[in-house]
Every structure is written in structure tokens, then in C-alpha cells.
Amino acid sequence: MEQRIKLLSQKEAAEYCDLSLSTLKRLRNIGDFPHPLQISQRRICYFLNEIEDWLNNRPKKKGGDLNINQTKIRCPQTPLEVDQAYDQELAELKARRGLGNGT
């Protein structure tokens, strides 16, 4: 029995993956999407089985990435800033544990 190869246009591939067309193009440009098949000078298509494999091999996260406790931090740039950040973090930790400054 012969198996038919199914091709999807860019629009169909984006809809199949639940992506916008611009996101699909961006993923393709950075090499994070299956390679297209050039049908003509202005038309490309994707193999359905390659898209399905790509989707099945994507990392799966449970619970989402929403973090309501997001805070902006600035990474220390110099050894002095590293020491100051360490001292500040240690003082905050001691304050939470009720140890105060008497050490």
C-alpha cells in the first residue's frame, strides 16, 4: 500500500502548529522549524510528517511559565558589586530568619 506525502503551505503549516505566519517565518529563519520544500520561485511547502515530528519533539512544560513574583535584577559588573550583592542577599536572608545584625 502506497503512503501519500502530505504537503502544507506556509499558512496551513502555521495554522496546524497554532502559530502566526510571522512566528513560523522567524522560527524558520533561526533554524528551529523543519526545512521547507521549494515548489516554485515564490512558493514553499512543508512536509506534514516533518512538522508532526517537530511538534512531538518540542520540550513540554507543565504549569506554564507565569511567575507572579518577577523582579528585575541587575547582574553585578565588578568584583566590588559582587561582594555588595552577596552582603545584601545575606542581610536579607538573616532578616527573614530573624537573626538580625548581631553575628
Distance in angstroms (rounded) separating the CA atoms of residues 6 and 35: 15
- Nearest 5°: phi and psi at 101? -100, 10
- Stretch 73-99: mean pLDDT, rounded? 85
| 4: three-class secondary structure by DSSP | coil
Residue ranges per domain, the chain? 7-56
Q: Say how many residues make up the chain.
A: 103
**Per-residue pLDDT, 14:** 95
pLDDT tens per residue across span 38-69: 999 999 999 999 999 999 998 877 665 555 65
Cα separation, 55 vs 44, whole angstroms:
19
How far is residue 74's CA from residue 57's CA, in Å, rounded to a whole number?
34
